[in-house]
């Protein structure tokens, strides 16, 4: 067995034997947004209702998103660098979406040395799809692949769809037509009067060209078009795809780490999914947020690139899953690490970039922490605290119960005593912690004292243990940290 495989098995063994790691999190729907009052304090009470479950934390919930312009590079070569290992560490069966703005603005599918049009700056060839297919099989991450709608060419779409279907096989989850078509009029891909009716015609041309080569998802917008699209195109699609960013760096309005971790941020995120999710549910379709991150337009300095993004990612992912979102794909660049970047993975130096060696960033640790929760159904949770605390509870598919507590004050506030009330259980519970030096530092981010190594693997430290009696557990939690508590069934 390869060393990489042994490391993965060791990680799973530690997580399982320790009875903890795969745990947790959730909260009762609307109740999860309560008890976000920030204070300089030391106590929180988390009460789990074991009488019912709702929502679903799916095995492939954790995902990543990249620009189509990365396809011709060697980044997705599973034999080079550490990207394949980093994805296997992040999820055993994840979802990788390839699309973004460049699929419409820059990339040209060239199966047979056709002339490259003047607008194209990136050429995607069959060999690039073959490399992606090898990467997908090596990581066991299924692919959402976008074809260009911005420069609509039915013949080209049919060719790429047929080739991708053949190369990827079962690893091709679905194809998508373009990226954020509601903005085509802004970026010059269509006229200033472009609207949903015209998009609908374009999409149906694309869908017809794809034919039966692969399932289709869409519309890949930030909420626009989704209600009408879900109803109009129900027979052609297998999933609704939605884009969501918590904050923005696109205009004059910025945000801070405190804003990102606030109750207002949680409320705004829920508002952004309410109508799209209702439209998807009405058509009995799953909805995936297949492009997301802390702040649009690449991220915010001292927000997206620091420890605050770790805690935000934990809270955000569990909040979305609890309310019915099928999965989330964090967008990233696979370039050099730069100030303010939201990318979960980046290269620390030009030499590393050349070698396809990437470094896990703070948001990656938040994603990894949620992966350790495992899959399952959410129990309702209520939280009472004067601190900025949220909590989630999951009945794992493996039969274990896991609770996640996210304390979103700065670590300087001090320790918080969490009283967990959960039925009538007694005995030991295992606890693992996500920690960092400060909300606005990118240093010291770790899970149970462990970090992802240069090869892309992660072995968690042994958990702490707490004793509970008659359903009450007292769990010390440092402010500015997350705790994963795993209990016997």
Q: What Å distances lie between residue 5 and 10, 212, 226, 319, CA to CA? A: 9, 36, 41, 32
Nearest CA-CA partner of 329 in 76, 91, 77:
91
Q: What Å distances lie between residue 327 and 47, 62, 291, 468, 475, CA to CA? A: 26, 6, 10, 33, 29
Nearest CA-CA partner of 148 in 103, 207, 109:
103
What are the structural domain ranges in the chain? 17-56+377-487, 59-373
Per-residue pLDDT at 168: 98
Nearest CA-CA partner of 259 in 303, 292, 317, 306:
303
Nearest CA-CA partner of 389 in 48, 32, 53:
32
CA 397 – CA 15 distance, rounded (Å): 15
CB atoms inside a 10 Å sphere around CB 19: 17
Q: What is the dihedral angle through the alpha carbons of 91, 132, 356, 456, rounded to the nearest 10 degrees?
A: 20
The strand pairing partners of 464, in sequence order, are: 431
Burial category of 397 from C-beta neighbours within 10 Å (exposed 0-12, middle 13-18, buried 19 and up)? middle
Q: How far apart are the first and last CA of the chain?
A: 33
Helical (H) or strand (E) element with 330: strand 327-331
CATH number of 59-373: 3.20.20.80
CA 342 – CA 363 distance, rounded (Å): 8
| DSSP reduced 3-state for 247 | strand
Dihedral sign computed on CA atoms, order 43, 47, 53, 59: positive
Task: Pick left, alpha or beta for residue 471 (phi over 0 → left; psi -120 to 50 → alpha; otherwise beta).
Answer: left
| DSSP reduced 3-state for 484 | strand
Per-residue pLDDT at 363: 98
Tokens 């947020």 correspond to what residue? 289
Got the DSSP string for 3-58? HHHHHHHHHHHHHHHTT-TT------TGGGGS-----S--EEEEEE-TT--EEEE-
Structure tokens at 132: 């992606």
Tokens 């011709």 correspond to what residue? 72
Per-residue pLDDT at 41: 59
Q: Which fold has domain 17-56+377-487?
A: Immunoglobulin-like (2.60.40)
Identify the DSSP state of 450: B
Q: Which residues of the chain have pLDDT under 70?
A: 1-41, 489
CA 80 – CA 75 distance, rounded (Å): 8
Q: 197: which residues sit within 8 A by CB, 6+ positions away?
A: none
Q: How many residues does the chain have?
A: 489
The dihedrals phi and psi of 117, each to the nearest 5 degrees, come to -65, 160
Strands 481-487 and 401-407: antiparallel
Per-residue pLDDT at 149: 98
Structure tokens at 281: 């549910």
Nearest CA-CA partner of 201 in 152, 162, 261, 134:
152
CA 122 – CA 118 distance, rounded (Å): 11
Structure tokens at 300: 């915010």
Per-residue pLDDT at 33: 32
Per-residue pLDDT at 32: 34
Structure tokens at 436: 């960092």
CA 171 – CA 93 distance, rounded (Å): 11
Question: What is the rounded radius of gyration, in angstroms, for the C-alpha atoms of the chain?
Answer: 22
Q: What is the dihedral angle through the alpha carbons of 352, 354, 357, 361, rounded to the nearest 10 degrees?
A: 70
Per-residue pLDDT at 489: 67
Instruction: Please give the mean pLDDT across all residues of the chain.
Output: 92
């Amino acid at each position: 067995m390869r060393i990489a495989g042994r490391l993965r098995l060791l990680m799973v063994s530690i997580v399982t034997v320790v009875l903890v790691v795969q745990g947790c999190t959730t909260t009762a729907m609307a109740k999860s947004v309560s008890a976000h009052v920030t204070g300089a304090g030391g106590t929180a009470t988390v009460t789990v209702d074991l009488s019912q479950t709702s929502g679903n934390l799916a095995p492939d919930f954790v995902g990543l998103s990249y620009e189509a312009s990365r396809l011709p590079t060697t980044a997705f070569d599973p034999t080079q660098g550490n990207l394949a290992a980093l994805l296997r560490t992040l999820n055993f069966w994840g979802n990788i979406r390839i699309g973004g703005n460049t699929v419409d603005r820059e990339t040209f599918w060239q199966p047979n040395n056709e002339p490259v049009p003047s607008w194209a700056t990136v050429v995607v060839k069959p060999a690039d799809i073959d490399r992606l297919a090898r990467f997908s099989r090596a990581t066991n991450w299924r692919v959402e692949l976008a074809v260009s709608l911005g420069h609509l060419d039915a013949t080209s779409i049919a060719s790429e769809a047929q080739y991708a279907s053949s190369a990827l096989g079962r690893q091709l989850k679905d194809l998508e037509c373009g990226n954020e078509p509601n903005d085509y009029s802004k970026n010059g891909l269509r006229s200033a009067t472009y609207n949903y009716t015209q998009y609908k015609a374009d999409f149906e041309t694309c869908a017809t060209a794809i034919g039966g080569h692969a399932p289709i998802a869409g519309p890949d917008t930030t909420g626009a078009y989704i209600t009408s699209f879900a109803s109009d195109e129900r027979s052609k699609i297998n999933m609704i795809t939605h884009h969501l960013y918590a904050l923005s760096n696109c205009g004059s309005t910025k945000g801070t780490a405190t804003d990102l971790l606030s109750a207002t941020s949680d409320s705004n995120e829920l508002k952004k999914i309410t109508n799209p999710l209702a439209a998807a549910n009405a058509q009995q379709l799953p909805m995936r947020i297949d492009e997301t991150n802390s702040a649009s337009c690449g991220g915010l300095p001292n927000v997206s690139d620091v420890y605050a993004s770790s805690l935000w990612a934990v809270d955000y992912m569990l909040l979305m899953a609890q309310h019915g979102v099928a999965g989330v794909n964090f967008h990233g660049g696979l370039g050099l690490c730069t100030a303010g970047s939201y990318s979960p993975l980046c290269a620390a130096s030009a030499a590393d970039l050349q070698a396809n060696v990437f470094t896990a960033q703070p948001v990656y640790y938040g994603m990894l922490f949620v992966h350790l929760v495992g899959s399952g159904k959410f129990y309702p949770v209520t939280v009472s605290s004067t601190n900025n605390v949220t909590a989630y509870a999951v009945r794992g598919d493996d039969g274990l119960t896991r609770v996640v507590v996210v304390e979103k004050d700065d670590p300087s506030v001090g320790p918080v005593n969490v009283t967990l009330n959960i039925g009538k259980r007694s005995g030991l519970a295992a606890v693992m912690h996500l920690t960092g030096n400060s909300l606005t530092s990118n240093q010291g981010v770790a899970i149970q004292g462990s970090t992802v190594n240069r090869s892309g693997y992660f072995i968690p430290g042994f958990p702490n243990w707490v004793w509970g009696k008659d359903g009450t557990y007292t769990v010390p939690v440092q402010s500015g940290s997350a705790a994963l508590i795993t209990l016997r069934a």
